[in-house]
Protein backbone atom coordinates (compact mmCIF):
# COMPACT_ATOMS: atom_id res chain seq x y z
CA UNK A 1 0.00 0.00 0.00
CA UNK A 2 2.82 2.36 0.80
CA UNK A 3 3.97 2.62 -2.81
CA UNK A 4 0.64 4.04 -3.79
CA UNK A 5 0.87 6.67 -1.10
CA UNK A 6 4.43 7.63 -1.89
CA UNK A 7 3.60 8.19 -5.51
CA UNK A 8 0.97 10.71 -4.42
CA UNK A 9 3.12 12.83 -2.15
CA UNK A 10 3.80 16.46 -3.06
CA UNK A 11 6.65 17.04 -0.63
CA UNK A 12 9.96 18.15 -2.20
CA UNK A 13 8.34 18.23 -5.64
CA UNK A 14 8.50 21.11 -8.12
CA UNK A 15 4.88 21.80 -8.86
CA UNK A 16 3.13 23.53 -11.75
CA UNK A 17 -0.47 24.62 -11.07
CA UNK A 18 -3.36 24.21 -13.49
CA UNK A 19 -6.79 25.83 -13.30
CA UNK A 20 -9.83 25.70 -15.54
CA UNK A 21 -12.07 28.69 -16.30
CA UNK A 22 -15.63 27.80 -17.23
CA UNK A 23 -18.09 30.19 -18.94
CA UNK A 24 -19.43 32.88 -16.62
CA UNK A 25 -16.52 32.57 -14.20
CA UNK A 26 -14.36 35.69 -13.90
CA UNK A 27 -10.70 34.97 -14.56
CA UNK A 28 -9.54 36.72 -11.37
CA UNK A 29 -11.52 34.25 -9.24
CA UNK A 30 -9.66 31.34 -10.81
CA UNK A 31 -6.37 33.19 -10.21
CA UNK A 32 -7.29 33.64 -6.53
CA UNK A 33 -8.22 29.98 -6.32
CA UNK A 34 -4.79 29.15 -7.76
CA UNK A 35 -3.22 31.41 -5.10
CA UNK A 36 -4.90 29.20 -2.53
CA UNK A 37 -3.72 26.07 -4.36
CA UNK A 38 -0.19 27.51 -4.24
CA UNK A 39 -0.54 27.91 -0.48
CA UNK A 40 -1.75 24.33 -0.20
CA UNK A 41 1.20 23.15 -2.30
CA UNK A 42 3.58 25.06 -0.07
CA UNK A 43 1.99 23.56 3.03
CA UNK A 44 2.43 20.10 1.50
CA UNK A 45 6.15 20.81 1.07
CA UNK A 46 6.23 21.42 -2.71
CA UNK A 47 7.85 24.36 -4.51
CA UNK A 48 5.58 26.10 -7.01
CA UNK A 49 7.39 26.89 -10.27
CA UNK A 50 4.53 28.18 -12.44
CA UNK A 51 0.86 28.11 -13.32
CA UNK A 52 -1.49 28.01 -16.29
CA UNK A 53 -5.19 28.62 -16.77
CA UNK A 54 -7.27 27.07 -19.54
CA UNK A 55 -10.71 28.32 -20.64
CA UNK A 56 -13.22 25.78 -21.90
CA UNK A 57 -16.97 25.47 -22.28
CA UNK A 58 -16.87 22.31 -20.17
CA UNK A 59 -14.22 19.98 -18.74
CA UNK A 60 -12.92 17.40 -21.21
CA UNK A 61 -13.97 13.94 -19.97
CA UNK A 62 -10.66 12.35 -21.04
CA UNK A 63 -8.07 14.94 -20.04
CA UNK A 64 -10.05 17.67 -18.22
CA UNK A 65 -8.26 20.52 -20.07
CA UNK A 66 -8.13 18.97 -23.57
CA UNK A 67 -5.41 16.80 -25.10
CA UNK A 68 -3.61 19.55 -27.04
CA UNK A 69 -3.56 21.89 -24.07
CA UNK A 70 -2.29 19.09 -21.84
CA UNK A 71 0.72 18.54 -24.09
CA UNK A 72 1.38 22.27 -24.23
CA UNK A 73 1.21 22.64 -20.46
CA UNK A 74 3.37 19.57 -19.97
CA UNK A 75 6.07 21.09 -22.14
CA UNK A 76 5.92 24.50 -20.43
CA UNK A 77 6.03 22.87 -17.00
CA UNK A 78 8.94 20.59 -17.87
CA UNK A 79 10.85 23.59 -19.17
CA UNK A 80 10.49 25.16 -15.74
CA UNK A 81 11.84 21.98 -14.17
CA UNK A 82 8.47 20.85 -12.81
CA UNK A 83 7.94 17.22 -11.90
CA UNK A 84 4.34 17.53 -10.73
CA UNK A 85 1.16 19.03 -12.15
CA UNK A 86 -1.38 20.15 -9.57
CA UNK A 87 -4.99 20.59 -10.66
CA UNK A 88 -7.35 22.81 -8.72
CA UNK A 89 -10.29 20.51 -9.47
CA UNK A 90 -10.98 16.87 -8.81
CA UNK A 91 -9.95 14.45 -11.54
CA UNK A 92 -11.11 10.92 -12.22
CA UNK A 93 -8.64 8.03 -12.20
CA UNK A 94 -8.60 7.86 -15.98
CA UNK A 95 -8.12 11.62 -16.36
CA UNK A 96 -5.04 11.38 -14.12
CA UNK A 97 -3.75 8.48 -16.17
CA UNK A 98 -4.33 10.26 -19.50
CA UNK A 99 -2.82 13.50 -18.24
CA UNK A 100 0.26 11.71 -16.95
CA UNK A 101 0.71 10.15 -20.38
CA UNK A 102 0.19 13.40 -22.28
CA UNK A 103 2.43 15.53 -20.06
CA UNK A 104 5.03 12.97 -18.94
CA UNK A 105 4.63 14.39 -15.43
CA UNK A 106 3.01 13.17 -12.21
CA UNK A 107 -0.47 14.55 -11.78
CA UNK A 108 -2.31 15.25 -8.55
CA UNK A 109 -5.72 16.79 -7.98
CA UNK A 110 -6.81 19.15 -5.24
CA UNK A 111 -8.35 16.47 -3.04
CA UNK A 112 -5.21 14.33 -3.17
CA UNK A 113 -3.15 17.38 -2.18
CA UNK A 114 -5.42 18.16 0.77
CA UNK A 115 -5.29 14.52 1.86
CA UNK A 116 -1.52 14.69 1.59
CA UNK A 117 -1.43 17.71 3.93
CA UNK A 118 -3.75 16.06 6.41
CA UNK A 119 -1.49 13.04 6.28
CA UNK A 120 1.55 15.22 7.09
CA UNK A 121 -0.23 16.98 9.93
CA UNK A 122 -2.18 14.21 11.61
CA UNK A 123 -0.66 13.30 14.94
CA UNK A 124 -3.12 11.69 17.31
CA UNK A 125 -4.39 8.17 16.71
CA UNK A 126 -7.81 9.62 16.02
CA UNK A 127 -6.56 12.05 13.37
CA UNK A 128 -4.36 9.41 11.73
CA UNK A 129 -7.22 6.94 11.57
CA UNK A 130 -9.53 9.58 10.11
CA UNK A 131 -7.03 10.63 7.46
CA UNK A 132 -6.27 7.09 6.43
CA UNK A 133 -9.96 6.32 6.11
CA UNK A 134 -10.51 9.38 3.92
CA UNK A 135 -7.52 8.47 1.75
CA UNK A 136 -8.71 4.91 1.17
CA UNK A 137 -12.21 6.13 0.30
CA UNK A 138 -10.69 8.59 -2.15
CA UNK A 139 -8.64 5.84 -3.76
CA UNK A 140 -11.32 3.20 -4.08
CA UNK A 141 -13.26 4.64 -7.07
CA UNK A 142 -10.00 5.75 -8.68
CA UNK A 143 -8.47 2.30 -8.90
CA UNK A 144 -8.67 1.47 -12.56
CA UNK A 145 -7.06 -1.38 -14.42
CA UNK A 146 -4.61 0.99 -16.08
CA UNK A 147 -4.00 3.04 -13.00
CA UNK A 148 -3.79 0.57 -10.21
CA UNK A 149 -0.78 1.50 -8.13
CA UNK A 150 -1.57 -1.40 -5.88
CA UNK A 151 -1.15 -3.68 -8.85
CA UNK A 152 2.07 -1.91 -9.71
CA UNK A 153 3.32 -2.54 -6.22
CA UNK A 154 2.33 -6.17 -6.39
CA UNK A 155 4.28 -6.48 -9.63
CA UNK A 156 0.98 -6.64 -11.46
CA UNK A 157 1.20 -3.39 -13.40
CA UNK A 158 1.08 -3.95 -17.12
CA UNK A 159 -0.48 -7.39 -16.80
CA UNK A 160 -2.78 -8.27 -19.62
CA UNK A 161 -6.42 -9.31 -19.73
CA UNK A 162 -7.81 -11.45 -16.95
CA UNK A 163 -4.70 -11.18 -14.78
CA UNK A 164 -5.09 -7.42 -14.45
CA UNK A 165 -8.81 -7.66 -13.72
CA UNK A 166 -8.18 -10.24 -11.02
CA UNK A 167 -5.49 -8.09 -9.49
CA UNK A 168 -7.78 -5.05 -9.54
CA UNK A 169 -10.59 -6.97 -7.86
CA UNK A 170 -8.15 -8.16 -5.22
CA UNK A 171 -6.92 -4.59 -4.64
CA UNK A 172 -10.49 -3.39 -4.20
CA UNK A 173 -11.17 -6.12 -1.68
CA UNK A 174 -8.06 -5.17 0.31
CA UNK A 175 -9.15 -1.54 0.36
CA UNK A 176 -12.72 -2.34 1.37
CA UNK A 177 -11.66 -4.50 4.28
CA UNK A 178 -9.21 -1.85 5.50
CA UNK A 179 -11.98 0.75 5.25
CA UNK A 180 -14.25 -1.42 7.37
CA UNK A 181 -11.59 -1.93 10.00
CA UNK A 182 -10.84 1.80 10.23
CA UNK A 183 -14.54 2.59 10.51
CA UNK A 184 -14.80 0.21 13.44
CA UNK A 185 -11.80 1.83 15.12
CA UNK A 186 -13.36 5.25 14.66
CA UNK A 187 -16.66 4.14 16.13
CA UNK A 188 -14.81 3.13 19.28
CA UNK A 189 -13.00 6.48 19.40
CA UNK A 190 -16.28 8.30 18.87
CA UNK A 191 -17.92 6.44 21.75
CA UNK A 192 -15.07 7.46 24.04
CA UNK A 193 -15.47 11.08 22.98
CA UNK A 194 -19.19 10.88 23.67
CA UNK A 195 -18.50 9.56 27.18
CA UNK A 196 -15.96 12.33 27.81
CA UNK A 197 -18.43 14.92 26.57
CA UNK A 198 -21.12 13.66 28.89
CA UNK A 199 -18.61 14.00 31.71
CA UNK A 200 -18.65 17.71 31.00
CA UNK A 201 -22.42 17.98 31.20
CA UNK A 202 -23.51 21.27 32.66
CA UNK A 203 -20.33 23.07 31.63
CA UNK A 204 -21.01 25.50 28.79
CA UNK A 205 -19.04 24.66 25.66
CA UNK A 206 -17.91 26.91 22.83
CA UNK A 207 -16.42 25.48 19.63
CA UNK A 208 -14.30 27.59 17.32
CA UNK A 209 -14.73 26.87 13.66
CA UNK A 210 -14.08 28.50 10.30
CA UNK A 211 -11.99 28.50 7.18
CA UNK A 212 -8.42 27.32 7.47
CA UNK A 213 -5.98 30.07 8.54
CA UNK A 214 -8.84 32.28 9.81
CA UNK A 215 -7.12 32.55 13.19
CA UNK A 216 -9.07 29.96 15.21
CA UNK A 217 -6.05 28.70 17.16
CA UNK A 218 -4.80 32.23 17.83
CA UNK A 219 -8.23 33.20 19.16
CA UNK A 220 -8.44 29.95 21.12
CA UNK A 221 -5.11 30.81 22.75
CA UNK A 222 -6.43 34.30 23.57
CA UNK A 223 -9.58 32.89 25.11
CA UNK A 224 -7.89 30.12 27.08
CA UNK A 225 -4.25 31.19 27.46
CA UNK A 226 -3.30 27.89 25.85
CA UNK A 227 -0.15 27.36 23.84
CA UNK A 228 -1.75 25.83 20.74
CA UNK A 229 0.31 25.97 17.59
CA UNK A 230 -0.87 28.82 15.39
CA UNK A 231 0.95 29.43 12.17
CA UNK A 232 0.54 30.94 8.79
CA UNK A 233 0.03 27.59 7.16
CA UNK A 234 -3.13 25.85 6.12
CA UNK A 235 -4.45 23.12 8.40
CA UNK A 236 -2.09 23.78 11.29
CA UNK A 237 -4.71 22.19 13.54
CA UNK A 238 -6.15 18.75 12.89
CA UNK A 239 -7.05 17.52 16.34
CA UNK A 240 -9.80 19.13 18.30
CA UNK A 241 -8.24 20.73 21.37
CA UNK A 242 -10.27 21.37 24.49
CA UNK A 243 -9.44 23.85 27.18
CA UNK A 244 -11.26 25.91 29.65
CA UNK A 245 -11.23 29.67 29.54
CA UNK A 246 -12.71 32.49 31.56
CA UNK A 247 -15.78 34.09 30.04
CA UNK A 248 -16.32 36.75 32.63
CA UNK A 249 -14.92 37.43 36.08
CA UNK A 250 -14.96 34.07 37.80
CA UNK A 251 -16.83 32.01 35.27
CA UNK A 252 -15.58 29.80 32.49
CA UNK A 253 -16.57 27.63 29.56
CA UNK A 254 -14.88 24.79 27.72
CA UNK A 255 -13.49 25.97 24.41
CA UNK A 256 -12.76 23.64 21.50
CA UNK A 257 -10.30 24.49 18.73
CA UNK A 258 -11.02 22.45 15.62
CA UNK A 259 -9.79 21.56 12.15
CA UNK A 260 -10.37 24.29 9.56
CA UNK A 261 -12.47 24.07 6.42
CA UNK A 262 -11.53 24.83 2.84
CA UNK A 263 -13.22 25.24 -0.52
CA UNK A 264 -13.87 21.84 -2.13
CA UNK A 265 -12.88 19.98 1.01
CA UNK A 266 -12.93 16.34 -0.05
CA UNK A 267 -16.24 15.10 1.28
CA UNK A 268 -14.60 11.91 2.54
CA UNK A 269 -12.55 14.07 4.85
CA UNK A 270 -15.65 15.64 6.35
CA UNK A 271 -17.28 12.27 6.92
CA UNK A 272 -14.05 10.75 8.23
CA UNK A 273 -13.50 13.64 10.62
CA UNK A 274 -16.95 13.19 12.09
CA UNK A 275 -15.67 12.37 15.56
CA UNK A 276 -13.38 15.42 15.68
CA UNK A 277 -16.02 17.66 14.16
CA UNK A 278 -18.47 16.30 16.70
CA UNK A 279 -17.08 18.97 19.05
CA UNK A 280 -18.83 21.51 16.82
CA UNK A 281 -22.19 19.78 16.65
CA UNK A 282 -22.19 19.12 20.38
CA UNK A 283 -21.19 22.64 21.44
CA UNK A 284 -23.61 25.06 23.11
CA UNK A 285 -22.21 27.87 21.00
CA UNK A 286 -20.20 27.88 17.82
CA UNK A 287 -17.84 30.76 17.12
CA UNK A 288 -17.46 31.07 13.38
CA UNK A 289 -14.11 32.81 12.92
CA UNK A 290 -13.73 34.73 9.64
CA UNK A 291 -10.44 36.23 8.43
CA UNK A 292 -12.01 39.54 7.45
CA UNK A 293 -8.76 40.79 5.92
CA UNK A 294 -8.82 38.07 3.25
CA UNK A 295 -9.93 39.20 -0.23
CA UNK A 296 -12.24 36.18 -0.51
CA UNK A 297 -13.58 36.26 3.05
CA UNK A 298 -17.18 36.08 1.89
CA UNK A 299 -16.65 32.93 -0.12
CA UNK A 300 -14.67 31.46 2.77
CA UNK A 301 -17.46 32.25 5.21
CA UNK A 302 -19.99 30.61 2.89
CA UNK A 303 -17.84 27.49 2.57
CA UNK A 304 -17.63 27.19 6.36
CA UNK A 305 -21.38 27.76 6.70
CA UNK A 306 -22.10 25.06 4.12
CA UNK A 307 -19.95 22.55 6.02
CA UNK A 308 -21.68 23.51 9.27
CA UNK A 309 -25.05 22.97 7.60
CA UNK A 310 -23.83 19.57 6.41
CA UNK A 311 -22.81 18.68 9.93
CA UNK A 312 -26.23 19.67 11.17
CA UNK A 313 -25.11 22.68 13.21
CA UNK A 314 -28.08 24.77 14.17
CA UNK A 315 -27.51 28.34 12.87
CA UNK A 316 -29.07 29.80 16.00
CA UNK A 317 -26.06 28.64 17.94
CA UNK A 318 -23.51 30.23 15.61
CA UNK A 319 -21.85 33.56 16.33
CA UNK A 320 -19.88 35.04 13.49
CA UNK A 321 -16.78 36.92 14.51
CA UNK A 322 -14.62 38.98 12.15
CA UNK A 323 -10.97 38.39 12.99
CA UNK A 324 -7.77 40.20 11.96
CA UNK A 325 -9.37 43.61 12.49
CA UNK A 326 -5.84 45.01 12.79
CA UNK A 327 -5.43 44.41 9.05
CA UNK A 328 -8.71 46.10 8.06
CA UNK A 329 -9.11 49.91 7.75
CA UNK A 330 -10.60 51.15 11.03
CA UNK A 331 -13.63 52.81 9.39
CA UNK A 332 -14.79 49.43 8.06
CA UNK A 333 -14.78 47.89 11.51
CA UNK A 334 -17.39 50.23 12.99
CA UNK A 335 -20.48 48.50 11.70
CA UNK A 336 -22.08 46.67 14.59
CA UNK A 337 -20.53 43.30 13.74
CA UNK A 338 -18.30 41.53 16.23
CA UNK A 339 -14.72 42.46 15.37
CA UNK A 340 -11.62 41.11 17.06
CA UNK A 341 -7.94 40.87 16.52
CA UNK A 342 -6.78 37.62 18.05
CA UNK A 343 -3.25 38.87 17.42
CA UNK A 344 -3.49 42.17 19.34
CA UNK A 345 -6.32 41.31 21.74
CA UNK A 346 -8.53 44.08 20.44
CA UNK A 347 -12.24 43.33 20.81
CA UNK A 348 -11.70 40.23 22.97
CA UNK A 349 -13.45 41.76 25.99
CA UNK A 350 -16.52 42.57 23.86
CA UNK A 351 -16.48 39.06 22.42
CA UNK A 352 -16.39 37.52 25.90
CA UNK A 353 -19.28 39.71 26.97
CA UNK A 354 -21.28 38.49 23.98
CA UNK A 355 -20.40 34.87 24.82
CA UNK A 356 -21.49 35.34 28.43
CA UNK A 357 -24.78 36.83 27.25
CA UNK A 358 -25.46 34.09 24.73
CA UNK A 359 -24.55 31.33 27.16
CA UNK A 360 -26.97 32.84 29.64
CA UNK A 361 -24.21 33.41 32.15
CA UNK A 362 -25.89 36.52 33.44
CA UNK A 363 -27.07 35.55 36.92
CA UNK A 364 -25.07 34.46 39.97
CA UNK A 365 -27.41 31.47 40.45
CA UNK A 366 -25.96 29.90 37.35
CA UNK A 367 -22.50 29.73 38.85
CA UNK A 368 -22.81 26.05 39.83
CA UNK A 369 -22.71 25.30 36.13
CA UNK A 370 -19.18 26.60 35.85
CA UNK A 371 -17.52 23.92 37.85
CA UNK A 372 -15.37 22.39 35.19
CA UNK A 373 -15.27 18.64 34.96
CA UNK A 374 -12.10 16.96 36.19
CA UNK A 375 -9.64 15.81 33.58
CA UNK A 376 -9.76 18.95 31.52
CA UNK A 377 -6.60 20.94 31.30
Ligand X SMILES: Nc1nc2c(ncn2[C@@H]2O[C@H](COP(=O)(O)OP(=O)(O)OP(=O)(O)O)[C@@H](O)[C@H]2O)c(=O)[nH]1
Question: Which residues sit at the interface with ligand X, rule CB under 6 A?
Answer: 212-218, 230-232, 234-237, 260, 323-324, 326-327, 341-343
Which is closer to Mg ion, CB of 217 or CB of 224?
Answer: 217
Number of Cβ within 10 Å of residue 343's Cβ equals 16
Identify which range of 48-56, 101-109, 217-225, 311-319 contacts Mg ion by CB under 5 A.
217-225
Is 323 among the residues that bind Mg ion (CB under 5 A)? no
Picked from ligand X, Mg ion, none, the partner binding residue 327 (CB below 5 to 8 A depending on kind) is ligand X
Q: What are phi and psi of 186, to 5 degrees?
A: -65, -35
Identify which range of 17-25, 47-55, 210-218, 364-372 contacts Mg ion by CB under 5 A.
210-218
Picked from ligand X, Mg ion, none, the partner binding residue 276 (CB below 5 to 8 A depending on kind) is none
Judged by CB under 5 A, the number of residues near Mg ion is 4
Which is closer to ligand X, CB of 174 or CB of 319?
Answer: 319
In degrees to the nearest 10, what's the CA dihedral of 229, 322, 357, 202? -30
End-to-end CA distance of the chain: 38
Nearest to 112 by CA among 41, 62, 182: 41
Q: What are phi and psi of 196, to 5 degrees?
A: -60, -40
Picked from ligand X, Mg ion, none, the partner binding residue 17 (CB below 5 to 8 A depending on kind) is none
Instruction: Locate the DSSP E strands across 259-306.
Output: 285-291
Q: Which of 186, 236, 242, 290 binds Mg ion (CB under 5 A)?
A: 236
Is 217 among the residues that bind Mg ion (CB under 5 A)? yes
Query: Whole-number minimum distance, CB 256 to Mg ion, in Å?
Result: 11
Cα angle value 9/12/15 (rounded, 5°): 80
Query: Whole-number minimum distance, CB 191 to Mg ion, in Å?
Result: 26
Which is closer to ligand X, CB of 18 or CB of 40?
Answer: 40
Query: Whole-number minimum distance, CB 331 to ligand X, in Å?
Result: 18
If you compute the radius of gyration of the chain from its CA atoms, what whole number of angstroms results? 23
Please give the DSSP secondary-structure letter assigned to residue 364: G
Identify which range of 54-62, 68-76, 235-243, 271-279 contacts Mg ion by CB under 5 A.
235-243
Query: Whole-number minimum distance, CB 133 to ligand X, in Å?
Result: 20
**Alpha carbon separation from 130 to 111, 277, 309 (Å, rounded):** 15, 11, 21
Tell me the β-bridge partners of 253.
245
Cα angle value 61/65/68 (rounded, 5°): 105
Which is closer to ligand X, CB of 63 or CB of 258?
Answer: 258
Amino acid sequence: MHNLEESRFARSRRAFLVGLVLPGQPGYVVEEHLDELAQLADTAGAVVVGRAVQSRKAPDPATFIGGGKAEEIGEAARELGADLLLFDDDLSGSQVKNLEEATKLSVMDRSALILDIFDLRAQSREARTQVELARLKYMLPRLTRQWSHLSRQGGGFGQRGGEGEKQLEQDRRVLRSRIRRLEEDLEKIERTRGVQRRGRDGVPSVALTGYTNAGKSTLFNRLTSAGTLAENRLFATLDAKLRRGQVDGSRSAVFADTVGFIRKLPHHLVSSFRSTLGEITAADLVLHVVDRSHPRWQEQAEVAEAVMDDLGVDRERVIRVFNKSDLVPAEETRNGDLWVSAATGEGIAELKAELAKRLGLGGATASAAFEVAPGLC
